[in-house]
């Protein structure tokens, strides 16, 4: 199961996707950026990445798919206008 914090979660995501070295660092940086810009907690982004990868989303599309999910999640948090 995915970890409760960002670092643990990203280690699991990186292992699941087979990312290593500098690519792993870049992938984690993308995830943190997504958390900052998407108004979603970093640990939640790691969970979203994990579930997207587990569902079979290809590595080259997993961040893009997660960004769409994060945007939807942030929209749901918005108060009614």
The band of 53, judged by pLDDT with boundaries at 50, 70 and 90, is: very high
CA nearest neighbour of 26 among 4, 59, 75, 52: 59
The pLDDT value given to residue 1: 47
Going 2 to 5 to 10 to 53, the CA torsion angle's sign is positive
What does DSSP assign to residue 37? H
Asked if the structure places residue 50 within a domain, the reply is yes
Average pLDDT, the chain: 87
Asked if the structure places residue 1 within a domain, the reply is no
Query: What is d(CA 46, CA 67) in angstroms, rounded to the nearest whole number?
Result: 11
Two tokens at 9?
């979660």
Give the structural domain span for 17.
6-77
Asked if the structure places residue 58 within a domain, the reply is yes
Query: What is d(CA 28, CA 41) in angstroms, rounded to the nearest whole number?
Result: 14
pTM confidence score: 0.84
* Stretch 6-24: mean pLDDT: 92
Query: What is d(CA 9, CA 27) in angstroms, rounded to the nearest whole number?
Result: 12
Asked if the structure places residue 32 within a domain, the reply is yes
Asked if the structure places residue 24 within a domain, the reply is yes
The pLDDT value given to residue 69: 87
């Amino acid at each position: 199961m995915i970890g409760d914090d960002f670092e643990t979660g990203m280690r699991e995501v990186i292992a699941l996707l087979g990312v290593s070295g500098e690519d792993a660092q870049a992938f984690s940086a993308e995830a943190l950026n997504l958390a900052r810009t998407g108004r979603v907690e970093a640990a939640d982004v790691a969970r979203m990445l994990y579930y997207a990868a587990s569902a079979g989303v290809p590595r080259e599309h997993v961040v893009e798919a997660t960004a769409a999910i994060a945007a939807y999640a942030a929209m749901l948090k918005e108060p009614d206008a």
